[in-house]
Amino acid sequence: MALDATLRITELFHSLQGESSRVGLPTVFIRLTGCPLRCGYCDTEYAFTGGKSMAIDAILQQVATFHTRHVCVTGGEPLAQKNCLILLTALCDAGYSVSLETSGALDIGGVDARVARIVDIKTPGSGEVEKNRWENMAQLQLSDEIKFVLCDEGDYQWAKQILAEHHLSDTCPVLFSPVHEQLSPTQLAEWILRDQLPVRMQVQLHKYLWPNAPGH
């Protein structure tokens, strides 16, 4: 494996996972630089450009210093860098429990099968609904997760329709998440209970623990 291959890295840090079914777990985050989308609620615009070039073996060495089992590769959009696939496999080979947070706009088919893929479906409120790569839905496995980030009731009704049309909850866990400080978590919870949806509601834990840390 080409461990001398390089990636543009915005940041690499140790924190608690704030999203997905792994919420609350101590995790090393590897945030890759660059993203082809411009979602209206994005909280990681600082990852669109810049960063520093790191070889995969150097990334692995830094990850190892945190002595943590869970690693999350995120962005930006991590799959926009082709060497992301090499990094994911290298992390799995090193024995980590690896998750990938992706916008759902790029092909997930080349991702190592050992990786838990957290795939967004962009809603109308995101401003990027036309970027959804629906072909990804056929590639999902039980170990993956689908995430809807919801801006308002219109997004909720749209997501509810997509959930039913594509039988998404039969494929893998589905997450409904309110945009922080835009859609009331309590309101979203009440809609989910009212409609008896087979989804997991989540809030971004890190937004409550570290409210002033961008993207954290």
Structural domain spans, the chain: 6-209
Q: What is residue 51's DSSP assignment?
A: -
Kindly tell me if the per-residue pLDDT of 1 is higher than 80: no
In whole numbers, what is the pLDDT of the chain averaged over residues? Answer: 95
Across the range 180-198, mean pLDDT stands at 97
Which whole number is the average pLDDT over 192-201? 98
pLDDT class of 216 with cuts at 50, 70, 90: low
Class of domain 6-209: alpha beta
| Beta strand extents in the chain (DSSP E only) | 6-16, 26-32, 52-55, 70-74, 97-102, 116-120, 145-150, 174-178, 200-201
pLDDT higher than 80, residue 55: yes
Evaluate whether 71 touches 96 at the Cβ level (below 8 Å).
yes
Strand partners, 52: 9
- CA distances (Å), origin 198, targets 87, 117, 160, 174: 33, 19, 10, 8
Taking residues 59-63, report their average pLDDT. 98
Position 215 scores a pLDDT of 59
Rg (the chain; Cα; Å): 17
Distance separating alpha carbons of residues 56 and 86, to the nearest angstrom: 8
Report which of 50, 47, 10 is spatially closest to residue 30, judged by C-alpha positions.
10
Say what the pLDDT of residue 206 is: 83
Question: Average of pLDDT values for 27-41?
Answer: 97
Q: Predicted confidence band at 132 (pLDDT cuts at 50, 70, 90)?
A: very high
Q: What is the mean pLDDT of residues 124-142?
A: 96
